[in-house]
């Protein structure tokens, strides 16, 4: 069941909200909490009920180990819990990747296990690993079974984040006011949801058509087609994942819960460091607090090494493939260069900083999207091949540039180009949803009309149903 589906929007979500608040009114807030657990489990099971046992085993083991850590303060239990989570993730997500590399290195022929990746495994594994580390640090208590179960499974975040932390989330479950209908929160929640839905269904899915076309024809691209395709995917990924995150925040607000914000206009960043402060914020925080700092952070003169390890592993977390590792390595190198540049105290114009940052991010995304290195290098080569200039509406340029070839067919239509430019402008000039909600949002009639139009149009596009990109991670 997708957030951008008829079943969720017109069935699961309204029924869940009605029963959730009705139980508080007719019974107690605890009844509402238990119902929300059941609803979350049902939401997860809808995808494939076989995955439910995997989720419940992970929860049971981490809850038990967490209790033992709180009670004994023994590092052995922490190591046991982290080892379990890493092995759990390695088996389900990376087993075939390891086998492929073993076969290549050892000239063996181990068969693929063909393990189906359980939805959300990366997110609920990271969420629980952070809990174990905090338990060892003495930053948590022995939570009740119901609170811990709801913490891990609460359905707005379960499939693709944002990554949540026990200290931010679990205390909310004990506040009785959370279980009573709040008009302001509901209005804000609906607004977040509609904005996210529009970004996913209208913008991201439109851009996917252009991006997919370019990556499928990577061997025969002109320079304009290569840049258009890379920019299309850059926009698709942002509007897709930020759209999901905002829908998740909105759904949680309808239920009176606060989820962390995951994006803050990242394509406006003027450095790679700033980019990672605005992109997938909860993952950045996790990598910093639970990987970079434990590695030593900026202590002992190993600052750059720890950055590279963190980003390489962060790349691998996104997918079982060397292209993801290269993507993480590119960002790691650029962050290191960024730190060194700041030490020189040389200041470039803001527009130059932005252009450098955006284009590094854009080129790096090619490895993130590409199915293999060959596809990635084909696109990058085409992006810098000025001899392949191709634009069917400018044939007159031929007399001025006789050495440039012009293909008869252009992959994009004129409408595709116009939409690409428009969405590019929106992504760069975008006033983050969080800032707008804090500073500008008011539940006025005009706001309701605009949101209604956006909602109706987005719903009209649901027949072109597509999964969120981060579901595969």
Nearest to 250 by CA among 305, 205, 165, 186: 186
Neighbour tally for 54: CB within 10 Å: 16
Is 347 an annotated catalytic residue?
no
b/e per residue 67-80 (b: at least 16 CB within 10 A):
bbbbeeeeeebbeb
Long-range CB contacts for residues 273-277, cutoff 8 Å, separation at least 24: 273/335, 273/338, 273/339, 274/357, 275/357, 275/361, 276/331, 276/335
User: Given CA atoms 91, 147, 314, 226 in this order, what sign does their dihedral have?
Assistant: positive
Instruction: Identify whether 162 is preceded by a cis peptide bond (ω within 30 of 0).
Output: yes
Residues in Cβ contact with 395 at an 8 Å cutoff, skipping those fewer than 6 apart: 406
Euclidean distance between the first and the last CA atom of the chain, given in angstroms as a whole number: 17
What does the block give as tokens for 332? 């790691």
Q: Which of 302, 318, 339, 347 is catalytic?
A: 318
| Separation of alpha carbons 216 and 214, rounded Å | 5
| Separation of alpha carbons 398 and 405, rounded Å | 8
DSSP label of 392: T
Enzyme catalytic residues: 318
């Amino acid at each position: 069941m997708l957030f951008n589906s008829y079943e969720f929007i017109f069935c699961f979500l309204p029924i869940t909200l009605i029963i959730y608040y009705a139980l508080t009114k007719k019974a107690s807030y605890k009844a509402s909490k238990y119902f929300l657990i059941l609803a979350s489990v049902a939401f997860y099971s809808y995808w494939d009920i076989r995955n439910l046992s995997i989720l419940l085993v992970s929860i049971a083991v981490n809850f038990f180990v967490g209790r033992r850590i709180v009670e004994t303060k023994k590092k052995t239990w922490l190591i046991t819990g982290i080892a379990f989570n890493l092995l759990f993730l390695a088996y389900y997500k990376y087993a075939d990747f390891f086998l492929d590399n073993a076969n290549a290195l050892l000239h063996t022929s181990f068969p693929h296990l063909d393990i189906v990746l359980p939805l959300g495994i990366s997110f609920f594994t990271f969420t629980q690993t952070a809990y174990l580390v905090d338990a060892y640090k003495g930053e948590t208590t022995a939570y009740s079974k119901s609170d811990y179960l709801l913490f891990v499974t609460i359905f707005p975040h379960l499939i693709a984040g944002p990554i949540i932390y026990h200290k931010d989330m679990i205390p909310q479950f004990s506040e009785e006011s959370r279980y009573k209908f709040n008009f302001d929160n509901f209005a804000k929640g609906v607004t977040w949801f509609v904005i996210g839905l529009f970004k996913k269904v209208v913008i991201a899915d439109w851009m996917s058509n252009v991006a997919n076309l370019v990556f499928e024809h990577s061997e025969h691209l002109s320079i304009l087609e290569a840049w258009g395709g890379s920019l299309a995917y850059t926009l698709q990924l942002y509007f897709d994942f930020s759209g999901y995150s905002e829908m998740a925040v909105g759904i949680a607000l309808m239920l009176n819960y606060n989820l962390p914000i995951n994006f803050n206009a990242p394509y406006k960043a003027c450095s790679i460091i700033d980019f990672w402060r605005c992109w997938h914020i909860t993952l950045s925080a996790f990598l910093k607090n639970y990987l970079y700092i434990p590695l030593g952070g900026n202590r002992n003169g190993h600052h750059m090494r720890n950055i590279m390890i963190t980003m390489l592993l962060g790349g691998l977390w996104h997918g079982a493939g060397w292209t993801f590792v290269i993507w993480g390595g590119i960002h790691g190198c650029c962050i290191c260069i960024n730190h060194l540049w700041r030490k020189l105290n040389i200041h470039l114009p803001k527009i130059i900083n932005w252009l450098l940052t955006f284009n590094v991010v854009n080129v790096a995304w090619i490895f993130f999207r590409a199915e293999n290195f060959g596809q990635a290098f084909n696109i990058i080569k085409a992006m810098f091949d000025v001899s392949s200039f191709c634009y069917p509406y400018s044939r007159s340029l031929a007399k001025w540039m006789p050495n440039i070839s012009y293909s008869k067919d252009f992959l994009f239509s004129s409408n595709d180009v116009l939409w690409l430019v428009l969405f590019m402008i929106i992504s760069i000039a975008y006033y983050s949803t969080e800032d707008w909600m804090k500073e500008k949002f008011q539940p006025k009639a005009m706001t309701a009309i605009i949101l209604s139009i956006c909602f109706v149009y987005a719903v009209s596009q649901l027949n072109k149903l597509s999964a969120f990109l981060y579901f595969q991670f």
